Amino acid sequence: MKLCGIKKTYGDRITLALPDLELEAGKITAVLGESGAGKTTLLNIVSGMTSHEGTVEGAGRTSYLFQDPMLLPHLTVEGNLRFVLEKGTWGEISAMLARVGLAGREASRPRELSGGERQRVALARAFLYPHDTLLMDEPFSSLGLSLKKSLLSLTRELWRERRQTVLFVTHDVREALCLAHRAIVLRRGTLCGDFNLGEGERDFFAPQPMEEALYLALTQDGPAE
Amino acid sequence: MKKNLIFSALAIVAMWLIWIAAYFIVRNDYLLPSFWATCRELGRQLISAAFWRAFGGTLLRTFAAFAAALVLAVALASCSVLSDAVRAFFAPIVSVLRTVPTMAVILILLLWTSHAVAPVLVSLLVLFPALYAAMLAALDEAKENYGALCRAFKVGVSRKIFKLYLPAAAPPVLAQAGSILSMGLKITVSGEVLAQTFHSLGGAMQDAQLGLEIPRLFALTLLVVLLGFLLEGGCLLLSKCIVRWRE
């Protein structure tokens, strides 16, 4: 995927101005940054949800995983999946629900699910929706540590089955190290760091060699090494 | 809950006492009938076929106006939530409808339509802005909560309306439907009084007033109030049944 001359302004204020950037297809790229760094704006630009200057090439069809599961309360779990799917067979839906650990919960309402289960439904929805690029906007930020770890592993497993391009917005360095192959760091709408994280698949709780460098890039002024 | 019921019962007793006190102060049956005379008349009305014909006619007109206003409000609010241009187009029309004097509209409608249709139309014109505003507010809330989801997954217009907007808007609109329907009953009866509609509670009230049958006038008024309460209560019950998932 190529991002060429991406710029987003609100009135006179520039909220995002990126140099030309190429994201490797079939890999997970973490987008790190503090609040207001322009991370979500970048996702919205890639998904075509917001107007912008510059071009996005090769994103194809996008799917989205939000911070809030955004499940419709009046629909069942199956109804929520069908709401976004143009076509989806019962078999596909129940198989995906089984993959995310919700086998037999097709008829449950969102109010009957725990916070983690709701996020699993959102994960199922994002992976079931036909896409070339998956956009994830801090989907695990409101979860407890052990739940976060298990959902990160689940995301990794689901990604491994089809290996789509993923843009994963987070402000948690650990999450990025656990899931992503590459991390780009945004600060005040500009790119201030680009890190190759190798093959990822790190243990969420183990100390990471790249952790300090990423924290420095996130918190220090000026471009990172 | 029990305490609230006691206070509500006390309010009814207070209104009854005021009526009795006012009756003894006024002491003129042509201005204010006694409570017991009104009750006797109320009993007579309840066993009269003419009353039930009038009751059915008024109820039918009220429901017809409410249903038409609801369909119109749902359709136009759905269009407004999808397009800012449509919303801007309807904004002044709804404002005009909200401020136009009801009695003037009835008089104009009487020139253009029949005595049976005018009360329905005036009720529709009064109910529509209230239902449209309630519907639009509920749809806006649904759009704010789930608009990003629809944009991200490129959900089609019909699916958005029928699977998201209308089901999400139903609970708040239903919660207000009772008071709006009750208001519709008041407007329909007012229209019937002015139009002297045949087979209507308003028409019967007008007859009673012209014939100086004051206990009958009061009994009919009391029945309209009771009907309003019943409609409000019925809607509340319906909304509770329909929106179980919200509780």
| A168 occurs within a structural domain | yes
Chain-chain contact of B164 with A63 (C-beta, under 8 angstroms): no
Bridge partners (DSSP) listed for residue A64: A135
How many domains, chain A? 1
What is the mean pLDDT of the segment spanning A128-151? 87
Chain-chain contact of B167 with A83 (C-beta, under 8 angstroms): no
| B52 occurs within a structural domain | yes
Q: What pLDDT does B245 receive?
A: 53
What is the mean pLDDT of the segment spanning B73-96? 91
What is the mean pLDDT of the segment spanning B129-146? 91
Which residues in chain A are closer than 8 Å to B245, comparing Cβ atoms? 73-74, 109, 111
Confidence of residue B247 (pLDDT cuts 50, 70, 90): very low
Q: How far is B154 from chain A (nearest CA, A)?
A: 8
* Interface membership of A130 toward B (CB under 8 Å): no
Q: What are phi and psi of A214, to 5 degrees?
A: -70, -40
Q: How far is B171 from chain A (nearest CA, A)?
A: 10
DSSP per residue, B143-186? HHHHHHHHHHTT--HHHIIIIIIHHHHHHHHHHHHHHHHHHHHH
How many domains, chain B? 1
| B29 occurs within a structural domain | no
Q: What pLDDT does A123 receive?
A: 92
Which residues in chain B are closer than 8 Å to A169, comparing Cβ atoms? none
| A211 occurs within a structural domain | yes
Confidence of residue B129 (pLDDT cuts 50, 70, 90): very high
Q: What pLDDT does B121 receive?
A: 92
| B239 occurs within a structural domain | yes
What's the CATH code of the domain at A56? Answer: 3.40.50.300
Q: Say whether pLDDT at A144 is over 90.
A: no
Q: Say whether pLDDT at B116 is over 90.
A: no
pLDDT per residue over B67-78, tens digit each?
999 999 999 999
User: How many whole angstroms separate alpha carbon A166 and alpha carbon A75?
Assistant: 28
User: How many whole angstroms separate alpha carbon B38 and alpha carbon A126?
Assistant: 67
Domain of B139, in residue numbers: 47-246
Contact B35, B20 (CB under 8 A): yes
Contact B54, B199 (CB under 8 A): yes
| A34 occurs within a structural domain | yes
Other beta carbons less than 10 A from residue A203's beta carbon: 12
Which residues in chain B are closer than 8 Å to A79, comparing Cβ atoms? 163
Strands A28-33 and A53-57 come out as unpaired
Q: What pLDDT does A135 receive?
A: 94
> How many A-B residue pairs are in contact by the CB < 8 A criterion?
43
ipTM: 0.85
* Interface membership of A87 toward B (CB under 8 Å): no
Q: What pLDDT does A79 receive?
A: 92
User: How many whole angstroms separate alpha carbon A133 and alpha carbon B5?
Assistant: 59
| Residue A213: both structure tokens together | 């460098």
* Interface membership of A132 toward B (CB under 8 Å): no
| B215 occurs within a structural domain | yes
| A63 occurs within a structural domain | yes
Within 142-181 of B, beta carbons closer than 8 Å to A belong to 145-146, 148-149, 151-153, 155, 159, 163-164, 167-168
| B13 occurs within a structural domain | no
| A224 occurs within a structural domain | no
* Interface membership of A111 toward B (CB under 8 Å): yes
Domain of A139, in residue numbers: 2-219
User: How many whole angstroms separate alpha carbon A52 and alpha carbon B114?
Assistant: 58
Rg (CA), chain B: 22
Which residues in chain B are closer than 8 Å to A129, comparing Cβ atoms? 153
What's the CATH code of the domain at B193? Answer: 1.10.3720.10
Which residues in chain A are closer than 8 Å to B246, comparing Cβ atoms? 73
| A201 occurs within a structural domain | yes
Q: What pLDDT does A201 receive?
A: 64
Q: Say whether pLDDT at B1 is over 70.
A: no
| B41 occurs within a structural domain | no
Confidence of residue A64 (pLDDT cuts 50, 70, 90): very high
| B1 occurs within a structural domain | no
Confidence of residue A202 (pLDDT cuts 50, 70, 90): low
Nearest CA in chain B to A43: B152
What is the mean pLDDT of the segment spanning A14-32? 89
Which percentage of chain A shows pLDDT scores above 70? 88
| B34 occurs within a structural domain | no
